[in-house]
């Protein structure tokens, strides 16, 4: 990967390697309920160990209020990690100070150690130079494999990278490569699908994408605001009436940037927001006052599929409808499966991520068939917004 130091050029033998990872996994009844994030970092951890490094893991967990708190301890995660690695993982009850030093002194080449939640120190989120110095003293080399935390300039994500020889881990590398191919150096035509509930949470993203993509396909609740901005009646639909002017501006800017915005032409409407609520398919001009739009209709899906057949690159964030409620998952499922098919046939590079997107694609059963699915929420969205991610910047060669 040009422009970044990767593990290819890291001298790791006998080194104390501080590895920033994402272990912010969901836990239910003391058990990790989704180990995707653990799975993603295994190649990096194994490679460092195989090359003779002492693997010292740094991570945050939850949102502690700047002091130790049992509920946000990483201790149970060490056991889960050991299970997935098939190797023991030691644990230190503080990420700096005597507990960390003593545990690191005991490490042999190829051993693993997880340090306690970095956010138990107030200095972590402040990127405090004193904490950065304490952390840096524990290692010889720094590897960042946590793209999902790279939008924050914290001590363990940005500060450390400026203090020690810094390298992108394999998961970080894969993420940067996928996002660069999709958005910075795409093979055109390039399309983006942006769905989800609200325009308000995605204003910057839409603004940036209209400058970059050839087609911006808008779905989900946010499409309602655009339909209303075009003077259509959307009944009881989720709609941000205070953003109609903003939506019009986005439509106008897209035109000026030669970006074609694609909105639904037909929709599935119901009177209640619940699964299997009686529904009907109507044109976008035919929504009754007591109805709400819960999904895009079959003509809209056909239009999007015809468009996808002409593009080479696709970026996807957000569902087409209220996909958690059957049958209002139909458009999301259909378009996701079509994108997966085109990807499988080698006709499309597809990159998806952010928020509910991963669960929507899992729901459609096709997450594995996209070229790349990012598990990062905020960092993925900030990349789509065109923002500089400090944790990524700090890894540049
Ligand atoms: P986001 O987190 O912004 O990606 O939004 C995802 C959420 O948007 C999901 O929970 C969907 O159920 C919801 N959503 C999508 N389309 C609609 C719609 N037409 N009306 C209400 N909610 C929707």
Instruction: Tell me: do 205 and 256 sit in the same domain.
Output: yes
Instruction: Tell me: do 17 and 166 sit in the same domain.
Output: yes
- CB distance 321 to ligand 1 below 6 Å: yes
Instruction: Tell me: do 205 and 145 sit in the same domain.
Output: no
- CA 273, distance to chain mean position in Å, is 27
Residue 394 falls inside a structural domain: no
- The active-site residue out of 219, 220, 355, 391 is 355
Instruction: Tell me: do 276 and 144 sit in the same domain.
Output: no
- CB distance 331 to ligand 1 below 6 Å: no
- The active-site residue out of 87, 181, 198, 312 is 198
Residue 395 falls inside a structural domain: no
Contacts of 276 (CB under 8 A, 6+ apart): 325, 326, 327
Length of the chain, please? 397
Residue 389 falls inside a structural domain: no
> Distance from the CA of 198 to the center of ligand 1, in angstroms?
7
Residue 128 falls inside a structural domain: yes
Instruction: Tell me: do 114 and 222 sit in the same domain.
Output: no
Structural domain harbouring 289: 186-384
Rounded Cα gap, residues 377 and 208, in angstroms: 17
Rounded Cα gap, residues 94 and 73, in angstroms: 10
Q: From the CA of 197, give the closest atom in ligand 1.
A: 8
E-assigned strand segments in the chain: 16-20, 27-28, 31-32, 54-58, 90-92, 112-115, 141-144, 166-168, 190-194, 215-218, 260-262, 266-270, 279-283, 292-296, 313-317, 349-353, 372-374
Task: Please state the pTM of the whole predicted model.
Answer: 0.92
> Distance from the CA of 384 to the center of ligand 1, in angstroms?
19
Domain's final residue, options 141, 172, 203 = 172
Instruction: Tell me: do 198 and 161 sit in the same domain.
Output: no
- CB distance 220 to ligand 1 below 6 Å: yes
> Distance from the CA of 380 to the center of ligand 1, in angstroms?
18
> Distance from the CA of 214 to the center of ligand 1, in angstroms?
24
Domain's final residue, options 172, 204, 222 = 172
By DSSP bridging, strand 16-20 and strand 141-144 are: parallel
* Six token digits for residue 334: 């259909």
Active site residue 198: yes
* Six token digits for residue 72: 């946000």
Task: Output the pLDDT for position 117.
Answer: 97
- CB distance 200 to ligand 1 below 6 Å: no
Residue 209 falls inside a structural domain: yes
Instruction: Tell me: do 68 and 194 sit in the same domain.
Output: no
Task: Output the pLDDT for position 99.
Answer: 98
What residue owns the CA closest to ligand 1's atom 12?
322
- Phi and psi at residue 82, to the nearest 5°: -60, -40
What's the total number of domains in the chain?
Answer: 2
> Distance from the CA of 221 to the center of ligand 1, in angstroms?
5
Instruction: Tell me: do 163 and 190 sit in the same domain.
Output: no
Domain's final residue, options 172, 202, 219 = 172
Ligand 1 probe mutation, 192, 201, 202, 220, most atoms within 8 A of CB: 220
> What is the CATH classification number for the domain harbouring 354?
3.40.50.1260
Identify the CA nearest to 171 among candidates 37, 277, 262: 37
Tell me the pLDDT of the chain (397 aa) as tens digits.
779 999 999 999 999 999 999 999 989 888 898 898 999 999 999 999 999 999 999 999 999 987 899 999 999 999 999 999 999 999 999 999 999 999 999 999 999 999 999 999 999 999 999 999 999 999 999 999 999 999 999 999 999 999 999 999 999 999 999 999 999 999 999 999 999 998 998 988 999 999 999 999 999 999 999 999 999 999 999 999 999 999 999 999 999 999 999 999 999 999 999 999 999 999 999 999 999 999 999 999 999 999 999 999 999 999 999 999 999 999 999 999 999 999 999 999 999 998 789 999 999 999 999 999 998 989 999 999 999 999 999 999 8
> Distance from the CA of 356 to the center of ligand 1, in angstroms?
9
Instruction: Tell me: do 168 and 251 sit in the same domain.
Output: no
CA dihedral 127, 133, 134, 135 (to 10 degrees): 70
- CB distance 219 to ligand 1 below 6 Å: no
Task: Output the pLDDT for position 375.
Answer: 87
Residue 397 falls inside a structural domain: no
- CB distance 324 to ligand 1 below 6 Å: yes
Task: Output the pLDDT for position 356.
Answer: 87
- CB distance 318 to ligand 1 below 6 Å: yes
* Six token digits for residue 12: 């790791």
Instruction: Tell me: do 110 and 164 sit in the same domain.
Output: yes
Q: From the CA of 323, give the closest atom in ligand 1.
A: 12
By DSSP bridging, strand 27-28 and strand 31-32 are: antiparallel
What residue owns the CA closest to ligand 1's atom 21?
221
DSSP state of 6: B
Residue 312 falls inside a structural domain: yes
Instruction: Tell me: do 96 and 205 sit in the same domain.
Output: no
Instruction: Tell me: do 168 and 298 sit in the same domain.
Output: no
């Amino acid at each position: 990967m040009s422009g970044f130091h990767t593990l290819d050029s890291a001298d790791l033998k006998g080194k104390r390697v501080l590895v920033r990872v994402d272990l912010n996994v969901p836990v239910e009844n003391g058990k990790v309920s989704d180990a995707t994030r653990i799975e993603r970092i295994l190649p990096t951890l194994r490679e460092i160990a195989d090359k003779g490094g002492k693997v010292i893991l740094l991570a945050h967990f939850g949102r502690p209020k700047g002091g130790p708190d049992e509920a946000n301890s990483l201790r149970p995660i060490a056991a889960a990690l050991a299970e997935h690695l098939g190797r023991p993982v030691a644990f230190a009850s503080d990420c700096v100070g005597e507990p960390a030093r003593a545990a690191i002194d005991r490490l042999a080449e190829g051993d693993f150690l997880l340090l306690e939640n970095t956010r138990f120190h107030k200095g972590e989120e402040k990127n405090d130079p004193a904490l950065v110095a304490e952390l840096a003293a524990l290692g010889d080399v720094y590897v960042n494999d946590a793209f999902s935390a790279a939008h924050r300039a914290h001590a363990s994500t940005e500060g450390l990278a400026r203090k020690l020889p810094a390298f992108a881990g394999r998961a970080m590398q894969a993420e940067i490569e996928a996002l660069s191919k999709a958005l910075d150096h795409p093979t055109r035509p390039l399309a983006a699908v942006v769905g989800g509930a609200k325009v308000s949470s995605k204003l910057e993203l839409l603004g940036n994408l209209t400058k970059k993509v050839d087609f911006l396909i808008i779905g989900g609740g946010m499409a309602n605001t655009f339909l209303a901005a075009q003077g259509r009646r959307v009944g009881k639909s989720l709609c941000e009436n205070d953003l109609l002017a903003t939506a019009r501006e986005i439509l106008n800017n897209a035109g000026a940037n030669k970006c074609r915005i694609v909105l639904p032409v037909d929709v599935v409407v119901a009177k209640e927001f619940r699964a299997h609520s009686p529904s009907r398919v109507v044109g976008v001009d035919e929504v009754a006052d007591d109805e709400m739009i819960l999904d895009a209709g079959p003509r809209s899906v056909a239009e999007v599929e015809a468009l996808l057949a002409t593009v080479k690159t696709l970026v996807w964030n957000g569902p087409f409808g209220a996909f958690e409620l059957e049958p209002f998952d139909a458009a999301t499922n259909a378009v996701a499966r079509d994108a997966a098919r085109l990807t499988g046939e080698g006709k499309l590079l597809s990159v998806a991520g952010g928020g509910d997107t991963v669960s929507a694609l899992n729901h459609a059963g096709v997450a594995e068939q996209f070229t790349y699915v990012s598990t990062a929420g905020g960092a993925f969205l900030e990349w789509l917004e065109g923002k500089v991610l400090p944790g990524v910047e700090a890894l540049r060669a």
